[in-house]
Chains A and B, each alone.
Chain A
Amino acid sequence: MKGQASMAGAGKEDRTRPGDAVVRPRDTMAEHVAALIRKRSAAGELITAAEIPDLWEVEYPSFPDADGSGEDIAGILTRLVHENEDLHKLSGAGSPCYYSDLHMTAAYAQIVLHKQEGPLRLIAETVRQNSREYQRPVALDIFTQPPFNLEYNQVRDYLSIMTAMAGYGDIATTSSSASRIYLYSTAHLEREHAVMLAEWLDVGQAHNP
């Protein structure tokens, strides 16, 4: 048996603790944009390039226009991601989004991104990720909880829509013996495995407390 990591890290500051103020000089436009990204991340949201000019007006009314600085926003964002360890670009179905990992992990940012892309994609990508990375089906009702916050019946309606739409053919359902609906992706989980896992998660674990 190999030894594990030492006590190093005990008492180290948590980089991801939400609410921590990140103090940086704000004397350039790029730094202001970086601060905007971080602020949005702290609120659990992503930011797109297109949103920046509007936000800019509210946050920094005394500064020159965001798009009148000589360096366009896209250029600033590229530079920021390159120069700041905590800032990241996320590409999805729509425009690229930006976030700071001081306030949210990449995994969480992906969920927020899918949320912005609409409920069908949110449901499908969450189901796929669970089947792929964790080898598990997910109960339909997790989508009624934060950060998804959908209505139960809405989710059922979205699932009906998905069955008739291209691009969602892998999203499948099964029910536990306690009638709880579980979702999985056939691209990553075999049906019999998903059926067994749904039963284990909903009923079996209750018998194995």
Chain B
Amino acid sequence: MSGYGGWAGKVLRVDLSTGRIWTEDTIDRYKEFLGGTGIGYKVMWDEVPAGTKPYDPENRIIFGVGPLAGTGAPCNGRTAITTLWPTCWPIPLVASGHMGGQFAAKLKYAGYDAIVIQGKAARPVWLMIVDQKVEIHDARRIWGQGIRGATAAIAEIMGQDAVVAAIGQAGENLVPMSVVMNAVSHSAGGVGSVMGSKNLKAIGVRGTGSIRIAGKKGDWEKLIKYHLSLLGGNNQHVVPNSPQPWAEFYDPKSRWNASRGKRWGAAAHLVDTGTCAPRETNRIAYRSNTAAFFLGDNLWKHTVRGNGCTSCPIRCHTMLKVPAVAAKYGIPAVGQNTCVGLFFGSAFFKKLPDGPRGETSLEACMVGMHLADDLGVWCNYGQLQRDFIKLYYDGVIKKKLGSREFNSYSWNRYEQGDPAFLFELLPRIAGKEGELGTALGLGTGHMLERWGLSEEEWGKDKDLSYWKMGHPKHHASEEAGQCGLLINLMYNRDAQCHSHTNFLRNGLPLPLQKKLAAELWGAPEAVDGMGDYKPMHPAKARMAKWSLLRKELHDSLSLCNWMGPWVASPLRERGYRGDDSIESMLYKLATGDDKDREEMDKVGERIFLLHRALTIRGMGTKEMRDRHDRIPAWVFADKAGKPPFTKGTTRLDRDDVRVALDMLYDELGWDRATGAPTRETYRKFGLDGVAAALAKRNLVPP
């Protein structure tokens, strides 16, 4: 290991088939890929040949963290888990899931930048990591238990300061729609069954070491304070959601939703969130209440506090206390989660007796949270629930199930919006029970194929939010025009990119956003007003490229792309500018590797390029433009028939989108005709070997 700070220095390797455990030097093998998804893609490229299936022992599952994990950098708690994606349809391709919590930091403190797991254990096992001591333990006692029970059992052995990432019954039963989870509610979707296929129930980590910061202590502390000063509320929304004496702007849809008079009503002692003004950096944790944002102001009275990942002041996993559910459903009164994890349960119901923000909805949320987060069922960013509603109300479920199975469900209860229905449905998904449980657990693409339904039809219905390859849109054209569309074309699952949407939804008025956009991406035309889209412009392609590279950088540094980037800020005195160099400044001081923003962007681009190369190799074609970068029909439709580029529609124009793709490919150095990177582009990023390997299979454009 060289003298770099930031990195722990070793990658832990475990072969579950042979029981062999060894380490590799991070810097020697992976420095140019940083960590996180970077290490993940590199391992997948080097070691997992095309044609490998997700559940083959030869597949790898890589828990990668980055050089900023475990440091004091804000929002550094993300672990990227990379593998062949079981819900990717029609063939599995590489993708990554991301969990927050405490896993990333603990892994670093134990001395590792990543864990690469290969092979398959002969019987259920769990992996115990206590600094240099790494052991494979028998897991037969905990196999069959939910995530909660397994975590408690391992914590009993390892002690309270260990973190446990475990799968539930869904992962054990090889249900593709399954998660791995640590720290109560922090999950990575889609990968639970890959662990299950390796007979790996859990990984427990206890680390007693620390991370060395290469820069001077004073400089590091100053930088952290500076970064904190740029933070907004959740998702980097930089204005409050209601007029405040200190604020010039407000946005009722901002996630900065606390203010004087808003109280954590279920805390041991009632907590008033206070004025929550920008410079109060020791009170950032009071700014956002994710549960109240999503489920309504009624949730303030149920709020215990915010919970979250290591070193993140945002704490977007709201801890809720709903005493009524304990007696009524036999579940704990306290639960926590964020975003789609919060409303996992309520999202199954088309109708709830007292509406989407009533008490029954809240109860459904609590039931869903407890079941899904114990069984380890994944929702695929809400696609599971949207599919379920459509399949039921279109009569498909009735048609596909035998009458015996169909009648075994209380459909009356479901239609009335009774949360208890979830006790019938979710365990059967986790247990692959019956036709319905099995089909829903496959993920959308494979479910449609199994039931003879058309993926193309699914892609026509905007309300279904389906995108492609078995996965939904994730901040695509419906809210971010051509930029959102381009981003969503690139991945093999939902895009999970927030770089663009965190900027577009930051709450600043459009003229100010345009001003910042011109500084960042060269022209104000990079951003449009919502529902007032303008034709494609090169600045939109630059914004899309920037968004993608920032996502890969964040995922490889362990920064949270649900919060970053930080190019806008709540600071009036800075003209609401953030800082586009914050990632490189943190990286440089932490590691001592003298890279500026442009050089870091190159690293991000190298990582993203490798993802593209893996996708090309996996698909066995370079015709990415036609065969991979596919667009669902709803993008080009409008219910009222409004033409593209008229106010009041998000409909896009096919010819304009062709131009958009050309521009993005140009920005990335990819061939316009095929959408595949050129040999020259691979060379530019030091991936000559990748180009050579692809060229042998005719997968590089001429």
Contacts and interface: CB of A to CB of B under 8 A. Distances in A.
Interface string A175-209: 00010000000000010111111001100111111
A47 to B, nearest CB: 15
Interface in A115-171: 133-136, 138-139, 142, 145-147
A105 B248 contact: yes
A205 B509 contact: no
Contacts of B463: 207
A1 interface: yes
B222 A108 contact: no
Nearest to A99: B245
A195 B573 contact: no
Interface stretch (A14-22, A24-32, A77-85, A90-98): A14-22
B253 A135 contact: no
Contact of B510 (A104, A135, A209): A135
Interface in A1-42: 1-5, 7, 9-12, 14, 16-18, 41
Contacts of B594: none
A193 B245 contact: no
Contacts of A5: 574-575, 577, 579
A53 B244 CA distance: 29
A44 B574 contact: no
A88 interface: no
Given A205-B253, A209-B340, A16 B479 contact: no
B530 A146 contact: no
Nearest to B261: A146
Contacts of B572: 16, 105
B226 A10 contact: yes
A186 B144 CA distance: 61
Contacts of A145: 242
Contact of A192 (B339, B501, B530, B642): B642
Contact of B519 (A4, A44, A111): A4
A188 to B, nearest CB: 12
A50 interface: no
A196 B533 CA distance: 13
Contacts of A111: 243
Contacts of B242: 142, 145-147
A103 B278 CA distance: 14
A37 to B, nearest CB: 14
A84 B501 CA distance: 40
Interface residues of B, number: 65
A58 interface: no
Nearest to A209: B339
Contacts of A136: 530
A46 B530 CA distance: 35
A135 B530 contact: yes
A106 interface: yes
B701 interface: no
Contacts of A138: 252
SS of A interface (majority) = loop
A196 B580 contact: no
Given A17-B246, A108-B247, A2 B278 contact: no
Given A142-B242, A204-B478, A106 B648 contact: no
A146 B259 contact: yes
Nearest to B244: A108
Contacts of B187: none
B581 interface: yes
Nearest to A135: B529
Given A146-B261, A193-B648, A4 B531 contact: no
A192 B648 contact: yes
B275 interface: yes
A193 B529 CA distance: 11
Nearest to A103: B245
Contacts of A135: 510, 529-530, 532
B400 interface: no
Contact of A4 (B243, B294, B501, B580): B580
B378 to A, nearest CB: 15
B261 A209 contact: no
Quick one: which of B246, B465, B478, B520 has the most chain A CB within 10 A? Answer: B246
B593 to A, nearest CB: 20
A4 B579 contact: yes
A93 to B, nearest CB: 19
A200 to B, nearest CB: 6
Interface string B223-242: 10110010000000000001
A107 B249 contact: yes
Contacts of B363: none
B243 A147 contact: yes
A41 to B, nearest CB: 8
A162 to B, nearest CB: 21
Contact of B252 (A17, A139, A196): A139
Contacts of B532: 135, 193
Chain A interface extent, by class: 35 or more
Interface string B497-512: 0000100000001100
Quick one: which of B243, B252, B278, B530 has the most chain A CB within 10 A? Answer: B243
Contacts of A44: 245
Interface string B342-355: 00000000000000
B277 A16 contact: yes
A14 B261 CA distance: 22
Contacts of B247: 105, 107-108
B289 interface: no
A204 B261 contact: no
Given A135-B529, A208-B475, A18 B261 contact: no
A10 B530 CA distance: 33
A197 B648 CA distance: 7
Contacts of B245: 16, 18, 41, 44, 103-105, 108
A41 B277 CA distance: 16
Interface in B341-392: 356, 382
A182 B532 CA distance: 19
Contacts of A108: 243-247
A108 B572 CA distance: 14
B196 interface: no
Nearest to B247: A105
Contacts of B279: 14, 17
A97 B275 CA distance: 24
Nearest to A106: B248
Contacts of A11: 222, 225-226, 229
A197 B225 contact: no
Quick one: which of B245, B252, B649 has the most chain A CB within 10 A? Answer: B245
Nearest to A108: B245
A174 to B, nearest CB: 11
Contact of B574 (A9, A193, A196): A9
A2 B518 CA distance: 9
Contact of A204 (B243, B479, B578, B640): B479
A14 B249 contact: no
Nearest to B597: A3
Contacts of A194: 648
A196 B648 contact: yes
A138 B574 CA distance: 28
B509 A1 contact: no
A70 B143 CA distance: 89
B542 interface: yes
A10 to B, nearest CB: 4
Interface of A: 1-5, 7, 9-12, 14, 16-18, 41, 44, 103-108, 111, 133-136, 138-139, 142, 145-147, 178, 190, 192-197, 200-201, 204-209
19 contacts: A4-B519, A9-B571, A9-B574, A10-B225, A11-B225, A14-B279, A18-B277, A44-B245, A103-B245, A107-B249, A193-B647, A197-B530, A197-B648, A204-B478, A205-B253, A205-B479, A207-B463, A208-B501, A209-B382
Given A4-B567, A18-B246, A208-B478, 7 more contacts: A1-B542, A11-B226, A44-B245, A104-B245, A108-B243, A108-B245, A136-B530
Q: 3 smallest A-B Cβ distances: which pairs?
A: A192-B648, A14-B279, A10-B226
